[in-house]
Amino acid sequence: MKPIPFLELQSQHQDLRAELNLAFNEVLDSGWFIQGRQLEAFEQEYAAYCGSKYCIGVGNGLDALHLILRAYGIGAGDEVIVPSNTYIASWLAVSYAGARPVPVEPDLRTYNIDPERVAAAITPRTKAIMAVHLYGQTAEMDALRALAGQHGLKLIEDAAQSQGATYQGKRSGNLGDAAGHSFYPGKNLGAMGDAGAVTTDDAGLAHKLRGLRNYGSHIKYHNEVKGYNSRLDELQAALLRVKLKKLPEWNRQRQALAQRYQQGLQDLPGLTLPYVPAWAEPVWHLYVVRHAQRDALQQHLQAAGIGSMIHYPIPPHLQGAYREMGLAAGSLPLSEQIHAEVLSLPLDPYLPAESVERVIAAVREFAIGAR
Ligand SMILES: *Cc1c(COP(=O)(O)O)cnc(C)c1O
């Protein structure tokens, strides 16, 4: 039988080939490659999609988060609350700004940051809460917004995995003070290279970000602050505009496939499926199950020709990059348990329904056999 890869991007590009070629040719013929009409149009279209007033294109998702912190003046001596259970970029953005990431454990059902634990982690140095909408499902934003309001903190979304996800019907990217988005190729909306953006309703913040991404300059050769070179180029913007039109349909297809997984895998011994609270409508960037014998499950799938991945194998606090924090194994047990037990099954908008059935059959076989 044909192998089922964890993810392949050729199908979506094949589907859009003609339109992508047109977009490429348009940029080629324009002779304008940085900060032009394509970027402006993408920023308007993506802001409208998220329901935000402003969108500022930047070089990648990590820069988006870092520049938000810089624009808010968060830096040395400040603390930013981050999920213990996330991709390391959420922490690195805080470190780049010169502030200290303060990890807070998740709710074991949703894998997202636990607002009760956030409350306990707030100190006089805390300046912001970074909520990550992990795997494409929004964090518990009302509770986090209430805490941010009480303590005068900024609420920042890491929306790298959640383009189109909603919280009580409201889109991710528009649920806090500012949001960082990534268009890394494998994300729900992916460029053909690196790209990212910030969305916000804050005009002052948007203005600062437009300067920070471009050498601290609003007027050519006038540099008001020590800025960066982090721009979303014309070519990526043009390609993203083509793909953005498809995003709602792609997300619906992801939802349909995830629904099938939820039905086909329910009630299996030892297998924990994604939990979706009533207020969340996830966009299933990843479909993640949990099993105490995760590695054996992955091998079983591998033997059946089915690709899978672990998001993520090592939590940030146990990475060499954060050795300085002195957080030993066992210090953030929920995150460690999640990292030891999660497995992401194949899921993308072009995954054939038959492939999903094959994955379901293989997981069932393992879970029942492993009992
Ligand atoms: C992908 C990702 C990022 C970083 O985005 P890049 O564009 O790769 O810099 C940040 N946070 C999370 C949760 C991500 O998944």
pLDDT digits (tens, 9 = 90+) for 269-299: 999 999 999 999 999 999 999 999 999 999 9
Would you say 194 and 60 are in contact if contact means Cβ atoms under 8 Å apart?
yes
Measured by CA distance, the residue closest to atom 14 of ligand 1 is 160
Q: What is the mean pLDDT of residues 230-242?
A: 98
- Residue type for position 318: L
Closest atom of ligand 1 relative to the 161 alpha carbon: 15
CA of 63 to the centre of ligand 1 (A): 9
What is the pLDDT confidence band of residue 370, given thresholds at 50, 70 and 90? Answer: confident
Residues 166, 87: Cα–Cα separation, whole Å: 21
CA of 81 to the centre of ligand 1 (A): 17
Residue 352 has pLDDT above 70, yes or no: yes
pLDDT band for position 196 (cuts 50, 70, 90): very high
CA-proximal residue: ligand 1, atom 6 (nearest):
61
Cα of 64 from ligand 1 centre, angstroms:
9
Q: For residue 244, report the distance from its CA to the centre of ligand 1, in Å.
A: 18
CA 285 – CA 265 distance, rounded (Å): 18
If one residue of 184, 213, 283 were mutated to test the ligand 1 pocket, choosing by the most ligand atoms within 8 A of its CB, it would be 184
Nearest of 121, 174, 128, 124 to residue 153 by alpha carbon: 128
Ligand 1 mean position to 196 CA, how many Å? 9
Q: Which residue, among 142, 141, 82, has the nearest Cα to 106 in the 3D structure? A: 82
Distance CA 132, CA 322 (A): 19
Q: Could you tell which of 132, 158, 233 is best to mutate to test the pocket of ligand 1, judged by most ligand atoms within 8 Å of the CB?
A: 158
Residue nearest to atom 5 of ligand 1 (CA): 61
State both tokens at 258.
């995830």
pLDDT at 98 over 90: yes
Q: 75: closest CA among 42, 48, 98?
A: 98
Ligand 1 centre and the CA of 334: distance in Å?
A: 22
Tell me: pLDDT of 1 over 90: no
**Sign of the four-CA dihedral 201, 207, 210, 215:** negative
CA of 253 to the centre of ligand 1 (A): 23
How many C-alpha atoms does 272 have within 13 Å on its Cβ side? 16
Supply the pLDDT for residue 26. Answer: 98
List pocket residues of ligand 1, CB cut-off 6 Å. 60-62, 86-87, 89-90, 132, 158, 160-161, 182, 184, 194, 196
Over residues 74-90, mean pLDDT:
98
The alpha carbon of 65 and the centre of ligand 1 are apart by a number of angstroms equal to 9
Q: Which atom of ligand 1 is nearest to the CA of 196?
A: 7
In this predicted structure, what is the pLDDT of residue 333?
A: 98
Tokens standing for 337?
A: 């348990």
| pLDDT computed for residue 371 by the predictor | 61
**Distance between CA 298 and CA 198 in Å, rounded?**
36
The answer to whether 338 and 83 are in contact (CB under 8 A) is no
At 57 the pLDDT is 98
Percentage of the chain modeled with pLDDT above 70: 100
Distance from the CA of 225 to the center of ligand 1, in angstroms? 26
Q: Token digits for 344? A: 């992401």
For residues 87-112, average pLDDT: 98
Mutate to test the pocket of ligand 1, among 7, 58, 86, 87 (most ligand atoms within 8 A of CB): 87
pLDDT at residue 369, as a whole number: 86
